[in-house]
């Protein structure tokens, strides 16, 4: 039965699985080793049966399960398997790279190189050595090697560039995390990679001349001349010596998918030149995993924006309702106040059947003010509009 292209292991489901099926049997269902499955359990903070647990259960003993505790800040709630459960396209890509007619051969001469390789050659041939390797220049491929094996590195990169074009990919220089990097454009997804040489560093052992120079500086009196001489010494005498070892390493600079080979290095029986087909097969899987991750991330971003928009609309509705309630309470207060004023005016008129002109004028104003406050009367005193107001 073919496995799905992606398996999402949730924490609760995997916890129940490891306590109902032996680890060795369960790991085979995911094309993993029992050690690999145990590592996943530790990353998800899932307790699993101890050694000898299943032997005791088989003999009829009833043993308790270790309870599943809540996640801490470092634990993972789910785990996605890609590399061990590849889709058919990735399997097809692996088969394509294994065919004899598709084997990538590295040329012995740099004939008609790719434009980026030719530009890298021009930039690196006259550049300075820094920390044992040629200093990279803007517009240069991500190659970190010493001067001696530069030709081999250029031949490797030319073979990779031409093989990428033959497979419908592109090789380019892009910006990644504020630094220049080279990548393969596979189905619109950048797959970043690098070619480096192992360079061993060791503490610098001063020469006799350098020791004499340092002892002469130490005898100087503290002052400007001492500082200038000491700075010259520090600029000329390094702290470490760097020794290129001639061992090349081709690395894919991605973490997804897990359990996938991303590094190829020279060894006793292996050369990076013989691993280029494996490199392209892994690069294809990386591109597929990155695309799936990007689409998933974009989907989550859309959901987040939609949720934020719903929260914003809900907050606007809540504020509008609060405003209505506020105006309702104000209108009710004004209405009650206008009724009390009218009762008060009636009481004054009853107590003063023949009011004075001043009292009559005040009572007339009080009636107008009661009408102004009453929301049921269409009357307002111009200078007191802000006291009553209207619902906008």
Residue 360 or 73, more confident: 360
Give me the mean pLDDT over the 268-282 stretch.
92
Last residue of a domain, one of 18, 51, 81: 81
- Whole-angstrom distance, CA of residue 102 vs CA of residue 389: 83
Q: What is the CA radius of gyration of the chain?
A: 40
Last residue of a domain, one of 302, 331, 348: 302
- pLDDT of 304 > 90? The answer is yes
> Please, which pLDDT band fits residue 85 given cuts at 50, 70 and 90?
very low
What is the per-residue pLDDT for 362?
93
Count of Cβ atoms closer than 10 Å to residue 347 Cβ: 10
- The per-residue pLDDT for range 209-221, each reduced to its tens digit, is 888 888 887 777 7
What is the per-residue pLDDT for 5?
56
Instruction: Mark whether 129 and 166 lie in a shared domain.
Output: yes
- Whole-angstrom distance, CA of residue 341 vs CA of residue 142: 87
Please name every residue paired with 381 in a beta bridge, in sequence order, or none if there are none: none
In this predicted structure, which of 94-103, 187-196, 289-298 has the lowest mean pLDDT?
94-103
pTM over 0.75: no
Task: Confirm whether 142 is domain-assigned.
Answer: yes
Residue 91 or 164, more confident: 164
Instruction: Mark whether 340 and 233 lie in a shared domain.
Output: no
Task: Confirm whether 316 is domain-assigned.
Answer: no
Percent of the chain with pLDDT over 90: 43
* Residue (of 210, 198, 197) closest to 239 by Cα position: 210
- pLDDT of 295 > 70? The answer is yes
Task: Confirm whether 150 is domain-assigned.
Answer: yes
Give me the mean pLDDT over the 258-285 stretch.
90
- pLDDT of 256 > 90? The answer is no
- Judge if the upstream peptide bond of residue 257 is cis by omega within 30 degrees of 0: yes
- pLDDT of 306 > 90? The answer is yes
Q: Which residue has the tokens 């023949």?
A: 354
Q: Using an 8 Å Cβ cutoff, are 37 and 64 in contact?
A: no
Residues 6+ apart with CB under 8 A from 241: 201, 202, 203, 204, 205
Instruction: Mark whether 77 and 97 lie in a shared domain.
Output: no
Instruction: Mark whether 193 and 255 lie in a shared domain.
Output: yes
- The per-residue pLDDT for range 15-61, each reduced to its tens digit, is 999 999 998 888 888 878 888 888 888 888 999 998 888 888 888 88
Instruction: Mark whether 61 and 76 lie in a shared domain.
Output: yes
- Whole-angstrom distance, CA of residue 218 vs CA of residue 138: 41
> Please, which pLDDT band fits residue 305 given cuts at 50, 70 and 90?
very high
Provide the token pair at 238.
């390094």
Look at the chain and report how many structural domains it folds into: 3
Angle, vertex CA 180, rays to CA 190 and CA 270, nearest 5: 70
* Residue (of 84, 105, 109) closest to 94 by Cα position: 84
What is the per-residue pLDDT for 86?
41
What is the per-residue pLDDT for 2?
44
Instruction: Mark whether 291 and 330 lie in a shared domain.
Output: no
> Please, which pLDDT band fits residue 89 given cuts at 50, 70 and 90?
very low
- pLDDT of 1 > 70? The answer is no
Instruction: Mark whether 226 and 175 lie in a shared domain.
Output: yes
Task: Confirm whether 312 is domain-assigned.
Answer: no
Task: Confirm whether 127 is domain-assigned.
Answer: yes
- Whole-angstrom distance, CA of residue 353 vs CA of residue 246: 119
- Helix (H), strand (E) at residue 164: helix 150-166
Task: Confirm whether 308 is domain-assigned.
Answer: no
Instruction: Mark whether 249 and 174 lie in a shared domain.
Output: yes
> Please, which pLDDT band fits residue 386 given cuts at 50, 70 and 90?
low
- Whole-angstrom distance, CA of residue 236 vs CA of residue 247: 28
Count of Cβ atoms closer than 10 Å to residue 316 Cβ: 10
Mean of all residue pLDDT scores within the chain: 86
Instruction: Mark whether 163 and 200 lie in a shared domain.
Output: yes
What is the per-residue pLDDT for 88?
37
Task: Confirm whether 346 is domain-assigned.
Answer: yes
What is the per-residue pLDDT for 130?
84
List the domain range (segments joined by +) for residue 66.
7-81
Please name every residue paired with 189 in a beta bridge, in sequence order, or none if there are none: 186
The alpha carbon of 217 is separated from its chain's Cα centroid by a whole number of angstroms, namely 51
Residues 6+ apart with CB under 8 A from 119: 139, 140
Instruction: Mark whether 77 and 148 lie in a shared domain.
Output: no
Report the SS3 class of residue 96: helix
Instruction: Dump the DSSP string for 169-181.
Output: -EEEEEEETTEEE
- The per-residue pLDDT for range 160-173, each reduced to its tens digit, is 999 999 989 999 98
Residues 6+ apart with CB under 8 A from 169: 184, 185, 186
Supply the DSSP symbol for 77.
S
Q: Using an 8 Å Cβ cutoff, are 189 and 287 in contact?
A: yes
What is the per-residue pLDDT for 259?
75
Instruction: Mark whether 202 and 351 lie in a shared domain.
Output: no
Last residue of a domain, one of 81, 97, 118: 81
Task: Confirm whether 62 is domain-assigned.
Answer: yes
Instruction: Mark whether 55 and 102 lie in a shared domain.
Output: no
- pLDDT of 375 > 60? The answer is yes
> Please, which pLDDT band fits residue 332 given cuts at 50, 70 and 90?
very high
- Whole-angstrom distance, CA of residue 386 vs CA of residue 332: 16
């Amino acid at each position: 039965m073919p496995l799905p292209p992606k398996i999402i292991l949730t924490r609760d489901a995997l916890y129940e699985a490891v306590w109902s099926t032996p680890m060795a049997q369960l790991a085979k269902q995911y094309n993993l080793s029992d050690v690999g499955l145990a590592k996943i359990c530790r990353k998800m903070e899932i307790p699993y049966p101890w050694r000898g647990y299943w032997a005791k259960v088989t003999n009829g003993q009833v043993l308790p399960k270790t309870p599943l505790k809540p996640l801490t800040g470092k634990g993972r709630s789910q785990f996605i398997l890609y590399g061990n459960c590849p889709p058919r396209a990735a399997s097809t890509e692996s088969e394509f790279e294994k065919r004899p007619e598709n084997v990538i051969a590295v040329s012995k001469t740099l004939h008609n190189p790719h434009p980026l390789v030719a530009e890298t050659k021009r930039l690196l041939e006259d550049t300075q050595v820094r920390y044992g390797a040629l200093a990279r220049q803007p517009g240069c491929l991500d190659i970190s090697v010493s001067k001696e094996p530069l030709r081999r590195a250029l031949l490797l990169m030319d073979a990779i560039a031409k093989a990428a074009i033959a497979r419908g990919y592109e090789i380019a220089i892009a910006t990644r995390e504020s630094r220049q990097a080279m990548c393969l454009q596979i189905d619109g997804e950048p797959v970043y990679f690098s070619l480096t040489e192992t360079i061993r560093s060791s503490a610098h052992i001063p020469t006799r001349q350098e020791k004499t120079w340092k002892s002469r500086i130490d005898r100087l009196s503290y002052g400007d001349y001492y500082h200038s001489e000491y700075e010259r010494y520090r600029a000329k005498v390094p702290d470490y010596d760097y020794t290129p070892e001639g061992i090349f390493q081709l690395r894919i600079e991605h973490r997804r998918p897990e359990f996938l080979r991303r590094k190829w290095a020279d060894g006793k029986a292996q050369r990076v030149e013989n691993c280029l087909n494996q490199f392209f097969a892994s690069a294809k899987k990386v591109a597929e995993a990155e695309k799936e991750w990007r689409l998933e991330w974009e989907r989550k971003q859309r959901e987040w924006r939609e949720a934020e928009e719903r929260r914003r609309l809900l907050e606007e509705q809540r504020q509008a309702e609060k405003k209505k309630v506020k105006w309702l309470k104000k209108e009710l207060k004004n209405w009650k106040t206008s009724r009390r004023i009218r009762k008060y005016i009636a009481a004054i008129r009853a107590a003063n059947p023949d009011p004075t002109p001043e009292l009559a004028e005040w009572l007339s104003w009080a009636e107008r003010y009661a009408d102004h406050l009453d929301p049921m009367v269409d009357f307002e005193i111009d200078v007191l509009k802000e006291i009553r107001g209207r619902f906008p």
